[in-house]
Amino acid sequence: MIAKPIVFFGSELIVACDAKCHKAWGISTRPRTRLSDEEDDIEWHSDNELGDAPEDPGTYEGGHGKPINDFLNKWCVRECERSILVKHCENFDLPDWSGRIKNMN
């Protein structure tokens, strides 16, 4: 796991991830299946269904792309599906990509 304190829109937060950058597609490019006619009714495919993600999935945040090492950047905060933002001293669980994750319950 990687965790780093940041200031996000004026709030002091921590960005945390599972450090599996080789499996990070980005939330907008991770393969998914649509479950109904509703645009947001999707489930993202699990790590077990996918190979490694591309080194450059073609998405950028503030000029930052997916990092090639364990250095967290703007892409990690805004695009990476494996990271979360939490308040200091807050308990958290990272997303579990061992199974599919639905966008809507």
pLDDT tens digits for range 7-39: 999 999 999 999 999 999 999 999 999 999 999
| Helical segments of the chain, H only | 74-78
- Reading the block at residue 19, the tokens are 């450090």
Q: Does residue 103 fall inside a structural domain? A: no
Q: How confident is the model at residue 104 (pLDDT cuts 50, 70, 90)?
A: confident
pTM surpassing 0.85?
yes
pLDDT of res. 71: 85
Reported as a pLDDT band with limits 50, 70 and 90, residue 70 is confident
Please say if the pLDDT value at position 82 is more than 90: yes
In a domain, 104, yes or no: no
Whether 27 is in a domain gets the answer yes
DSSP letter at 58? Answer: S
Domain that holds residue 74: 2-97
What mean pLDDT do residues 55-74 have? 92
Whether 57 is in a domain gets the answer yes
What is the count of structural domains for the chain?
1
DSSP three-state, residue 86: strand
